[in-house]
A and B are shown apart, each in its own frame.
Chain A
Amino acid sequence: MPAAIEFRDVTRTFGSVRAVDSVSLEVAAGEFFSMLGPSGSGKTTCLRLIAGFELPDAGHIVLDGVDVSDVPPYDRDVNTVFQDYALFPHMSVLENVEYGLKVRHVGGAERRPRAREMLALVKLGELGERRPGQLSGGQRQRVALARALINRPKVLLLDEPLGALDLKLREAMQIELKALQRELGNTFVYVTHDQGEALSMSDRVAVFDHGRIVQVDTPRALYSRPRNPFVAEFVGGANVLPARLATALLGVDKPVAIRPEQMRILATGAALEPGWVACAGTVADSQYHGATLRIQVRTRDGELLTVARPDVSADVAVSRAGSEVSVAWPRASVVELETDRA
C-alpha cells in the first residue's frame, strides 16, 4: 500500500528564502500526522504544497502513489480546513457544506442529504440555514470541518484550525478531532505551533525548523528522545546543557537535555541519592502555575535551568529568590543530543 503522502526532496523558495528546504517525508494512510514548528519554519508551506496552493520548485510530491507535483488543487484528493475557516460569507451554512459536491455536479437530491448528514456529524444539524457571519468561532470551525470532509478526501489538511478558539473549546475540539479521525479512518495532517496539541493528538509528529524537518517521531519518542537542542527546547521545553557543562558534570562531550520535571532542588550540602547528579546555583525567579511551580536557577557558569515541581513539594520551601541551592537530577533522565542545531 503506497504512502498517503510522500515528499521527495521538496524545495519551495520565496525570493531568497528557502521556506521548504529539500524536505523528504512519508505519511502513512490513516495516520494522524502533525507538523510542528515555530512560525516561519516551513510547516504551513508544506501543508500548502500538499493542498496544491503552492507548487514545488524542486522535488516531487506523491499522493497515494500518484505524482501530483504539478496538479492544481481542484484535481487533488485532499481537502483543507483553513486557519481563518474561509467560509463563503454569501452562502448559508448548508450551501457552504455542500459546495464541494455542487462544483462536482452532484445533484441536489443526493447533495442535500449528504450535507445534512455531515452537519449532523459535526453537531450543527439545526444551523444549516444560518449565514457564517451569524455563528460563533467554534461553530464556524465545525462548518469548515464539515465542508472539508464532504468530498470524503483521503487526506484532510488542518492549518492551525484551533488557533482562534479559547482554551476550553480548544481542548474539547482536540478530543473531538481525534475521535473523528479514528471514526473516519482517513489521513489527517495537522499543522500547529502548539507542541501540547501535537503531542496529545498525533500518531507521529514532524518538527520543523528553518524549512527543514529536524525529527519525525511518535509523540513519546519525541519527548523522551529529542534528537537535538532545538527539538528538546521546542517540545516540552527541556533544559539543554551545553557540551562544556555536560562534560564537567556528566563526562559526556555532547549537549544534553533534562526535563524540568525530572529535576529537584536541594538545599546546598544536602546528601545526593545514588545515581543523581547535582549542580550548584542561585534561585533567580519562580512562577506559580497552579499544580506546579516553575523555578529558574542560575548556575555558577551562567546557565539558566528551569525546574518544575509540585507546588506542595519540599523544594518549594528552599526556593526563595536569591537563595543558594543545588539542582539535582537522576543520571538516567539525561538525554544526549546531537550537536547540530538543524
Chain B
Amino acid sequence: MNTVAGGWSRALSTFFYRRPNRYLLLLLLPPLLWFGTVYLGSLLSLLLQSFYSINDFTAEVVREPTLATYRELVTQPAHIDIVVRTLSMAIAVTIACALIGFPIAYYMARYAAPRLKTFFYVGVLLPMWTSYLVKVYAWRLILAKQGIISWVLDAFGLTRALDALLATPVIGGPTLTASYIGMFIVFVYMWLPYMILPIHAALERVPRTLVQASADLGARPGQTFRTVVLPLAFPGVAAGSVFTFSLTLGDYIIPGVVGAPGYFIGMMVYQQQGTAGNIPLAAAFSVVPIVLIGIYLGIVKRLGAFDAL
C-alpha cells in the first residue's frame, strides 16, 4: 500500500486535521491565557481591593476583608450623588443616541444608494480616527461663550433662548461649556457611532420582503415599523445602548473638561486611586458601573433583545 508522500509540514497538518480539538486549543491558547490572567485576573484583584479598607490615620490599605468601603460608598450622600449623576447622564445620553442614531442607521440600511452609503460610513467612522482629547477640547471651543454655537444663535437672534435654557436648574450653568447640557452634547457626539453601527447592522439583516409582506397584509407604514422593523432592529439598539451606556458610565475625561463641576464615577476612581491614594474606594467605585451594566443587561434581556440572536 502506498501512502501520501510529504515532509514534516504535511505530517503536522495531517496531525491537526485529524485532531480538530487540539488545533482549536493551539489557536485559542494565547488569547485564553491573556484573557484569563491579564483581563480576568486584574478584574478579580480589583474586586478584591474593594473589600479592603483604608486606615484613616496612616492612609494605609488594611488587607482584611471588610464591607466598610462599600458602606462608605452607599452611605455618604456625596458618593450617592456621584452615582446618580453619572447614571442619569448615561441614561440621557443613551436615549439621545438611540433617537438620533436610529433614523441615520435606517436611512443607511434601507434607502441610501451604495455610493451614498459609503459616504455615510466614512462620515460615521471619520470622527473615530481623530484623537479623543482633540475632539473633547474642540468641543470646549465650540460650546464656549464666544464659540460657534453662541455665534450662530446670536446671528438668528436666539441668544435669549440659549440663556433661558442655561437658566434651567440642574442641567443649566453659566455657559454651555460649564453646564450639563454641554457635557451631554459632547457625550452624545462621542458615542453616536457606537449606536449607529450596530443598529445599521441589525437593519441590514431585515429582509426587504418582510416589510413588503407586512404592507401586503394590510399594515400601514407606521404599523409595519412598530411591529416588524423595530422589533427586528431592537437587538441592534440594545447592543448600541450597551456601548453608549457603559462608555458614559466609565468616562473620566469629558466630565473634567466640559460641564458643571460635579464629580462623575470615572473621575472619582481616577482621583481616589491617584491623589487621594484610597485604592479600596476607587475599586468600590469602579465596581458600580459593572453592577449597573449588569442590571441594564438584565433589563434588556427581559425586553427580549437577545431572543433573535
Q: Are B308 and A73 in contact (CB under 8 A)?
A: no
Q: Are B231 and A99 in contact (CB under 8 A)?
A: no
Tell me how far the C-beta of A186 lies from the nearest C-beta in chain B, rounded to whole angstroms: 15
Q: Are B212 and A99 in contact (CB under 8 A)?
A: no
B217 contacts partner chain A, Cβ-Cβ < 8 Å: yes
Q: How many of chain A's residues have a CB under 8 angstroms from any CB in B?
A: 25
Q: Chain B residue with minimal CB distance to A78? A: B216
Cα distance A304–B164 in the bound complex, in angstroms: 88
| B-contact bits for A230-245, CB 8 A (1 contact / 0 none) | 0000000000000000
| A-contact bits for B217-250, CB 8 A (1 contact / 0 none) | 1111001000110011000000000000000000
Q: Are B307 and A73 in contact (CB under 8 A)?
A: no
Q: Name the B residues within 8 Å of A148 (CB-CB).
A: 216-217
Q: Chain A residue with minimal CB distance to B232? A: A90
Q: Are B214 and A99 in contact (CB under 8 A)?
A: yes
B133 contacts partner chain A, Cβ-Cβ < 8 Å: no
Near A by CB (< 8 A), chain B positions 256-309 give: 307-308
B67 contacts partner chain A, Cβ-Cβ < 8 Å: no
> B209, B218, B227, B232: which contacts A74 (Cβ < 8 A)?
B218
Q: Name the B residues within 8 Å of A147 (CB-CB).
A: 213, 217
Cα distance A19–B115 in the bound complex, in angstroms: 25
Cα distance A99–B227 in the bound complex, in angstroms: 10
A40 contacts partner chain B, Cβ-Cβ < 8 Å: no
Interface residues of A, dominant DSSP? loop
Q: Name the B residues within 8 Å of A89 (CB-CB).
A: 232, 308
Binds B, one of A79-87, A118-126, A194-202, A262-270: A79-87
Q: Name the B residues within 8 Å of A80 (CB-CB).
A: 212-213, 216
> B209, B231, B232, B307: which contacts A82 (Cβ < 8 A)?
B209
Q: Are A74 and B308 in contact (CB under 8 A)?
A: no
Q: Are A100 and B231 in contact (CB under 8 A)?
A: no
Known A-B contacts A74-B218, A74-B220, A103-B219; the reply to A90 vs B213 at CB < 8 A is no
B43 contacts partner chain A, Cβ-Cβ < 8 Å: no
B215 contacts partner chain A, Cβ-Cβ < 8 Å: yes
Near B by CB (< 8 A), chain A positions 136-184 give: 147-148, 150-151
Q: Are B220 and A73 in contact (CB under 8 A)?
A: no
Q: Chain B residue with minimal CB distance to A80? A: B216
Cα distance A73–B221 in the bound complex, in angstroms: 10
Known A-B contacts A103-B223, A103-B227; the reply to A90 vs B215 at CB < 8 A is no
Q: Are B218 and A86 in contact (CB under 8 A)?
A: no
B210 contacts partner chain A, Cβ-Cβ < 8 Å: yes
Q: Are B207 and A73 in contact (CB under 8 A)?
A: no
Q: Are A86 and B215 in contact (CB under 8 A)?
A: no
Q: Are B215 and A82 in contact (CB under 8 A)?
A: no
Known A-B contacts A72-B215, A73-B215, A103-B227; the reply to A86 vs B220 at CB < 8 A is no
A53 contacts partner chain B, Cβ-Cβ < 8 Å: yes
Near A by CB (< 8 A), chain B positions 174-233 give: 207, 209-210, 212-220, 223, 227-228, 231-232
Q: Are A51 and B216 in contact (CB under 8 A)?
A: yes
Cα distance A52–B220 in the bound complex, in angstroms: 13
Q: Chain B residue with minimal CB distance to A90? A: B231
Q: Are B218 and A84 in contact (CB under 8 A)?
A: no
Q: Name the A residues within 8 Å of B207 (CB-CB).
A: 84, 86
Give the top 4 A-B pairs by smallest Cβ distance, nearest first. A100-B217, A86-B209, A103-B219, A86-B213
Of the A-B pairs whose beta carbons lie under 8 Å apart in the complex, a sample of 10, sorted by A's number, is A53-B212, A73-B216, A89-B232, A89-B308, A99-B217, A99-B227, A100-B217, A103-B218, A148-B217, A151-B217
Can you add 20 more A-B contacts, CB < 8 Å, to A99-B219, A104-B218?
A52-B215, A74-B218, A74-B219, A74-B220, A79-B216, A80-B213, A80-B216, A84-B207, A86-B210, A86-B213, A88-B228, A89-B232, A89-B308, A90-B307, A90-B308, A99-B227, A102-B227, A103-B219, A151-B217, A151-B218
